[in-house]
Amino acid sequence: MQPDWIDSFLFLFLLLIFIYVLAVNNITTLHKVYLAFHSLMMIWPFSHLLMHIVPELRFQWFFLNLAFAGLCFLGLGWLVFALVITKKIDEQKRSTLYLYAVPSILSAVLVTTNPWHYLFAIPSGYSWTIRIYGPLFWVFALSGLFYLILSTNLMLRTARTVAESNIKKQLSLCIRGILLLIFFSVFDVLLNVIVYPYTRVIVPGLTSLGIAVSAVCFVISIRKYDLFRIINAAQREVMDNIDTGIVVLDRDRLVLDINASAAKFLNIKPGQIFNASNVLEIGELFNDKAKSLQTEIKRHDGQIRHVTVNVSPVTDDKDKFLGRIITFNDITEIQILLEQIRVNNFVLQKQNQELLAVQEELHKANQKLRQMSITDELTNCYNRRYMLGHMTDEIAVAFRYKIPFSIMILDIDRFKLINDTYGHLVGDDVLRGVVGAVKKNLRRSDVVSRFGGEEFIVYAPHTDRLGALSLAEKIRLTVENHTTRIYQYCLRVTISIGLISFNDWSAETRPVEKILEDLLTKADKALYRAKANGRNCVVAAD
């Protein structure tokens, strides 16, 4: 058999395997890798076929260069296929994959530049069909051997660690294919490169035979152990078991695939035309953009279900429109839950409003209780307990910032006589009238409180002795001129005032409570002196 027909036969054999793989399998990522790898395997015998057909040296060199360049990248293809079949491809960094390609690229460059240096090969006589190899050939051979050894080692390590017997057998067949390719390639080099200068005998087709035998090993591995079919079955299983209904359409709305969840809503099969107006009122969603719609659909069993329908266009890498994917998500249970949540929210909102009303009433009641706890019920001014606490705090601040202040004690003159003459109700009116007259002369910072019976206290911050005397005199005159109407009579009363002012901060080291007690005692004594001086007057303590 002539050398060109040996390579021709092996090329046709590889081509038939290629067509067979295409015919019996759906295309997946693993298929794509294998088919690219298989294409590289076919380059060698095909190029040798063409090289034996054409007589001119330049065309022969072109096809020989194509053959060796294909072999350069065949080793890299072996490695990539090994990474995919062992599921290690995703673990590789992009930079690592680029690094793996360096020996292939370098070998291809050395082969392609041969006509300039003839260090790779030179023709024997007037044809490239018989050639003598130079030193760069061994760089090419070592590069290919490197890839084959690396791929074999990767598969061996994976076969040792993987638990599934099918995968072990798959990898075992692939390893045998690599070893057979190495055997025939080394045998080819031994006979046609090393021994040829001595024997002048060419044994054709050895490398092509090794490639063909390794391809057969891969095809047996693929078909016998369902390497591709398992992937397709797993994809189908996933499609049919997800809750989301999926319909795949081509550009003409022909149904390419429909899963079990979508079949519950749509009485349609692959190969039929998807008529949106007849099946669902979603015709307006069919455009080049993704859109969604929430609607109601009656299933085959008569149930009305709430679904969300999403129509998304499918495009290729160049944004060319290929078809559409329609997804159906049953949200009936979610709708029921949302309705229940809305009802619960309404009830909660009503309860919250009632709680807010109760809280408002409690707040007002607390405010009223607090006001009652610090206010004298009769005169509506502060009571004794609040006033003592307030003055304690104010005096502490005054001492810190050295602010003068004054304290006045007011007492209604002959108030017992009023109660005895007119009764306690009139006395209460008189007390309220006196408080009103006092408040007319006070500033916002001044505080008045009922200290007990007909006695009141006024605390005046930021007030020295002269200011306190002036304020006390105004209060006295206002009360004196105030009239309380009793039946057909008008009643007037007077008050006596004892006051004390404080602005000496140097020698005072006692607690605030003691200081306040001392100041009240002195102011009370001043009040008694005012009573002794004839009443209706103001007396300041020293």
SS3 400: helix
**HSE (CB half, 13 Å, CA atoms) of 31?**
18
Calculate the CA dihedral of residues 341, 346, 349, 351 and round it to 10 degrees. Answer: -100
Q: Residues 28, 232: contact at Cβ < 8 Å?
A: yes
The DSSP element (H or E) to which 125 belongs, if any, is: none
Question: What is the C-alpha to C-alpha distance for residues 473 and 252, in angstroms, rounded to an integer?
Answer: 104
Exactly one of 361, 454, 473, 513 is catalytic; which is it? Answer: 454
Residues 6+ apart with CB under 8 A from 382: 374, 375, 376, 390, 447, 448, 449, 450
End-to-end CA separation in angstroms for the chain: 143
The CA distances from residue 30 to 82, 87, 178, in Å, are: 11, 10, 18
Give catalytic status of residue 455 as yes or no. Answer: no
Q: Tokens 């009571």 correspond to what residue?
A: 383
- φ/ψ of 389, rounded to 5, equals -65, -40
Question: What is the C-alpha to C-alpha distance for residues 364 and 49, in angstroms, rounded to an integer?
Answer: 104
Catalytic residue numbers read 454
